[in-house]
Amino acid sequence: MAKPCILDFTKSELTQMVKPSFRAKQIWGWVYHQYTTTFEEMANLPKAMREELENTYTIMPLKIARKECSSDGTIKYLFELGDGKTVETVWLKMKDESIDDEGNVENEARYTVCVSTQVGCKVGCSFCLTAKGGFTRDLSAGEIVAQVLAVKADNGLAASKRLNIVYMGMGEPLDNLENLAKAITIFKDEDGLSISGKRQTVSTSGLSSKIDKLGEMDLGVHIAISLHAVDDELRTELIPMNKAYNIASIIDAVKRFPIDTRKRVMFEYLVIKNKNDDLVSAKKLVKLLHGIKAKVNLIFFNPYEGSEYERPTRADMVKFRDYLDAHGVLCTIRDSKGLDISAACGQLKEKDLKEGAQ
C-alpha cells in the first residue's frame, strides 16, 4: 500500500499522529518553512523518529515534469503526480503598482499561485481545453497544498513571503469540496504557509448548492464566479451545467455568501468574439449585478488549436469595460499573463501530450 503523504494532514491531525505532539510543529516547520523533502534532513528530530517517519510517510507527492517561463515573469508548471497523471500550476508575479481589493496601493512584488484541484474536469465547458480530456480524478488535499509549496521552493522564495492563491487551474474546485476545504485550512495555518482566507480565492463555474456549503464552512475565502454570459441560453451553451444551476440560482447563492465587508465578489466574464462582447450584454450585466458588491474581470478568450470560438478585439473589450465603468460597476480587463507561453487552463498539458506522442 502507498505510504500516506504528510501534506495531506492538518497540523491538529499530525499532532494526534506524532508523539510527543510538539514534534508535529517541528516537522511542519521543516516542510513548510525549509522546503525539506526528506525526513532524514530534519536535524532536530531524534534519529529513530526520522527513520520511522521515513518508513511511514512521504512528503512531496509531485515533481516538475515541465516548466515554461514567460517574458513577463509568469511561470507555468506541469506537475507529475504519484500515479503519473499531470496537472498545471501557474506562478504569477505582479511587479507594478497595483491597487488591492481594499483600495490600498501596493508597490511590492506580489505573487499569486494558480492551482489545480482535479485532473480534468466534469463540468465540460465548451470553451475550455481542460474539459476536452474529460474527468480523471480529484486531487487530494496534499496534492493541492504541494503545488504551492513546490513553486515557492522552486523560486527560492523566503518562507515569510506572502502570496495569494487562486483556485483557477484545472478542475472545478467545488466539485472537490472536501479536499479543497482541507487544503484551505492547511494553507491558513500560521505555523505553515500562513496564507489567510482573504488571500485565497475559489473560482467556480457556479455550483450554487456548493457555494452555499463553502459559505457555511466559514473559511473566510473569497469567491470568483465564472459567469461568462448574461442569459441562460448562451450560458448553457458555454457551461452545460447551467441547466441545473442557472444564473438566478448563482446570483442568489452569491447574495447569501459571507463576504468580508471590505471585499467584493469577483465575476469572471470570458469575452468571446461575436458571442458576448456587445453592449447589450454589458447592459444586462450591469442589471444582473445590481445590489451586489461586485468586481468584474474581463478575460480575453484564449484560442487553441481546434477551438470553436475567437478572441475578441481589444477595442470591443475597452468599449465593454467603459460601459461597465460608466454605470458604476468596478471592472478590469485581465490581460492574459504569459501569453507567449501556453497561458490558458489546460494548454501546457495539451502541448506535453502532443509532443510526447511525436
Site residues (vs ligand SAH, CB under 6 A):
127-128, 168, 172, 203-205, 226, 268, 270, 299, 301-302, 344-345
- Binding partner of 60, given ligand SF4, ligand SAH, none, CB within 5-8 angstroms per partner class: none
Amino acid letter, 209: S
Q: Residue 64 and residue 86: Cα distance in Å, rounded?
A: 10
Task: Name the nearest CA neighbour of 109 among 169, 157, 69, 159.
Answer: 157
345 is catalytic: yes
| Calpha distance 317→301 (Å, rounded) | 11
**Active-site choice (5, 125, 331, 345):** 345
Q: How far is the CB of 307 from ligand SAH (least distance, A)?
A: 7
The nearest distance, CB 301 to ligand SF4, in angstroms, is 11
- What is the rounded CA–CA span in Å between residue 246 and residue 96? 38
Q: Which residue number, 149 or 299, has a Cβ lying nearer to ligand SAH?
A: 299
List the one residue from 18, 113, 123, 165 that touches ligand SF4 (CB under 6 A).
123
Residue 54 is a catalytic residue: no
In whole angstroms, the minimum distance from the beta carbon of 340 to ligand SF4 comes to 22
Restricting to residues 181-220, which ones interact with ligand SF4 according to CB under 6 A?
205
Q: What's the min distance (Å) between Cβ of 124 and ligand SF4?
A: 6
If binding is defined by CB under 6 A, does position 147 make contact with ligand SF4?
no
Q: Please pick, among 88, 143, 172, 350, the residue that the annotation labels catalytic.
A: 88
Q: Does residue 130 bind ligand SF4 (CB under 6 A)?
A: yes
272 belongs to the binding site for ligand SF4 (CB under 6 A): no
Q: Cα separation of 111 and 161, whole Å?
A: 9
Number of C-beta neighbours around residue 49 at 10 A? 16
The closest alpha carbon to 144, from 174, 112, 187, 175, belongs to 187
Q: Which three cell numbers stand for residue 183?
A: 487544503
CB of residue 239 vs ligand SF4: minimum separation in angstroms? Answer: 6
User: Residue 253 or residue 345: which is nearer to ligand SF4 going by CB?
Assistant: 345
Give the range of 15-23, 96-104, 120-128, 208-216 binding ligand SF4 by CB under 6 A.
Answer: 120-128
Element housing 72 (H / E)? none
Q: Which residues of 125-160 are buried (b: 16+ CB within 10 A; e: fewer)?
A: bebbbbbbeebeebbbbbbbbbbbbbbbeeeeeeee
Residues 6 or more apart from 320 whose CB is under 8 A from it?
A: 271, 277, 279, 281, 282, 298
The H-assigned helical ranges of the chain are 11-17, 22-33, 47-56, 129-132, 141-154, 177-188, 208-217, 232-238, 247-256, 279-288, 314-326, 347-357
Does residue 297 touch ligand SF4 according to CB under 6 A?
Answer: no
Measured in degrees and rounded to the nearest 5, phi and psi for residue 338 equal: 65, 35
Assess 176 for contact with ligand SF4 (CB under 6 A): no
Residue type, 190: E
Q: Choosing among ligand SF4, ligand SAH, none, which partner's interface includes residue 181 (Cβ < 5 to 8 Å by kind)?
A: none
**Residue 131 binds which entry of ligand SAH, ligand SF4, none, CB below 5-8 Å type-dependent:** ligand SF4
- Distance of closest approach, residue 227 Cβ to ligand SAH, in angstroms: 9
Tell me which residues are annotated as active site. Answer: 88, 345
Return residues touching ligand SF4 (CB under 6 A).
121, 123-125, 128, 130-131, 170-172, 205, 345
